[in-house]
Amino acid sequence: MEFELDKFNGVIIDPTSLPASRESMVAALEHLTTWQDHEQKSLAWISLPITSAESIPLFTQAGFTFHSCLHNELTLVRKLSNLSFVPFIPTHTVGAGAIVLNDANELLVVRERGSNGFKLPGGHVEAAEQIQDSIKREVLEETGIDTEFHSIVGFSTKHPYQFGKSNLHFICRMKALTYSINILDTDEIEEAKWVPLASYILEPANSLSNRQMVSRIACSEGLAPTDLTGNCGPHKKAEIFLARATGLITFAQSTLD
């Protein structure tokens, strides 16, 4: 069983180096855990592919616990002691909704199957997907409307949401590029339409919290996508959203270098 040291006083096991037999695996794990304890290595990590799922009980019997998972991979960790700090596992799912108004001040809304009220189009942000891309995709799938991202005008959190995780939901102002309704995701969405903004806010069949939210953000500018000169290199941020400035503070370039 091969591993490498990380910069946090831990070891990362190479899943391709696992012994083929159960007996060899048990012996290798015993050797590794003894070495970890002797060398005072805070954490031992392994990300097991689904093809090695039969090894999971052997790792848990050696003191490893579940940390996080993907659809085809499970990450386990063994702590040296209860005081060893384990970097956080994913705590939130992320979603995005869209407020889209046309030139007639009509709001784009959808009604899910089994629901009586209408809401803003939107859904989950997929892994590695940017917020701007996800909300354009969701609006297109649920309404057939092509849109252009403008800004983030609000966000909310909810706990618990799903699978013991919290949810972070962004509301995005979008500009409609087309106007004809053509629902693509007919399994989820039963109806999509343009409605007068005031009518949506006053309709009691719609969620009160949604109506209040729409009334407050309908005329908001929000946080705009921004590109910073210094946002580069290995720590480059995928997206930056900042409030629109009412003024500009100027510094000498040497101050920012």
Q: Residue type at 142?
A: E
Run of H or E residues at 65: strand 65-70
pLDDT of residue 164: 81
Q: What is the mean pLDDT of residues 112-117?
A: 95
Instruction: Given CATH 3.40.630.30, say whether it is the number of domain 3-79.
Output: yes
User: Which pLDDT band holds residue 252 (cuts at 50, 70, 90)?
Assistant: low
Q: Of 57, 31, 73, which is closest to residue 65 (Cα–Cα)?
A: 57
Partnered with residue 4 across adjacent β-strands are 12
b/e for 212-248, b at 16 or more Cβ within 10 A? ebbeebbeeebbbeeeeeeeeeeeeeeeeeeeeeeee
Q: What is the mean pLDDT of residues 156-170?
A: 91
CATH of domain 92-217: 3.90.79.10
**Sequence ranges of the domains in the chain:** 3-79, 92-217
Over residues 37-78, the pLDDT tens digits come to 999 999 999 999 999 999 999 999 999 999 999 899 999 999
pLDDT of residue 161: 87
Q: What is the mean pLDDT of residues 12-33?
A: 96
pTM attached to this predicted model? 0.82
d(CA 82, CA 42): 10
Pairing state between β 10-13 and 3-5: antiparallel
Answer yes or no: same fold for 3-79 and 92-217.
Answer: no
Among residues of the chain, what percentage have pLDDT more than 90? 84
User: Which pLDDT band holds residue 243 (cuts at 50, 70, 90)?
Assistant: very high
Mean pLDDT over each residue of the chain, to the nearest integer: 93
Out of 137-151, 190-204, 229-243, least confident range: 229-243
Q: Residue type at 195?
A: V
d(CA 1, CA 25): 8
